[in-house]
Amino acid sequence: MRRNDRLFQLLRILRDGRLHRSADLARTLGVSARTIWRDMATLADRGLPVTGERGIGYVLRDPVTLPPMVLTKDEFEVLRLGLSLVGGAADPVLARAAAGLRAKIAAVSPADAGDTGSDTFVFSSAEAARAAPHLGLIRRAVREHLTLALSYRGATAARVRPLHLDYWGRVWTLTCWNDYKNDFSVFRVDLVTSLAHDGGAFLPEPGKTVEDYLARITPA
């Protein structure tokens, strides 16, 4: 099971709002308890409302109780615009409710919807809003195998081969092959200060694909 798929399955399990022991989660997903600990730390770092600790268990705060839904790109866009309008309303109660709903929808949305990552998003955080201007170019670069010139945190420069986008409920991350480092890099998109197609392109190479990256970080 790919790591992103496993993280999504963990969220599906935790949606019941109950306390789940890491040993039980490990048996269900066929991995070690240590892998579950790392996965839970990743989910918490990405802004998802997961709390707990080793030896006790983990719980998802404010679990979503709506049945699963599949929304089209246009339906997500309607939802995003509607929540944005309500979120900017003068009524503070409705504004808080809209913000809460944005976060809850983002928390249960799949991390990816194809080779280029999630095709739709809801602005559940300031980080997601800052990332938004870069997402179109990144998706195109992943799809068409374009190289990008990237500046990070206003200082680090890189020439990258974009491989995959992930959304974690608060932040977007870009997994890529970094030609300057000759290794993989994962960037938070909201911390990218400049991004442009540098005119180059690439073909997938053994050892430099997203599958190679996942194989490296996934315990045997």
Distance linking the first and last C-alpha atoms of the chain: 11
The verdict on 96 and 164 lying in the same domain is yes
Same domain? For 88 and 174 the reply is yes
pLDDT of residue 121: 42
Question: Is residue 109 included in any domain, yes or no?
Answer: yes
Residues 102 and 48 in one domain: no
Q: Is residue 10 part of a domain?
A: yes
Q: Which distant-in-sequence residues (6+ apart) come within 8 Å of 151 by Cβ?
A: 157, 158, 192, 193, 194, 195
Residues 111 and 182 in one domain: yes
The mean pLDDT of the chain is 78
Q: What does the pLDDT average to over 172-200? A: 93
DSSP codes joined into one string, 51-99: EEETTTEEEESS---SPP----HHHHHHHHHHHHHHHTSS-HHHHHHHH
Identify the pLDDT of residue 75.
72
Q: Lowest mean pLDDT: which of 7-11, 91-95, 117-121, 122-126?
A: 117-121
Q: How many domains does the chain have?
A: 2
Same domain, 51 and 79: no
Per-residue model confidence as pLDDT tens digits over 29-80: 889 888 888 888 888 776 677 888 777 888 887 644 444 556 666 676 667 6
Residue 100 reports pLDDT greater than 60: yes
Is 66 a member of any domain? no
Contact 156, 129 (CB under 8 A): no
Mean pLDDT of 153-164: 88
Domain that holds residue 107: 71-220
For residues 16 and 108, state if they share a domain.
no
Provide mean pLDDT across the span 95-105: 74
pLDDT at 137 over 70: yes
Does residue 148 register a pLDDT over 80? yes
Is the pLDDT score of 82 beyond 50?
A: yes
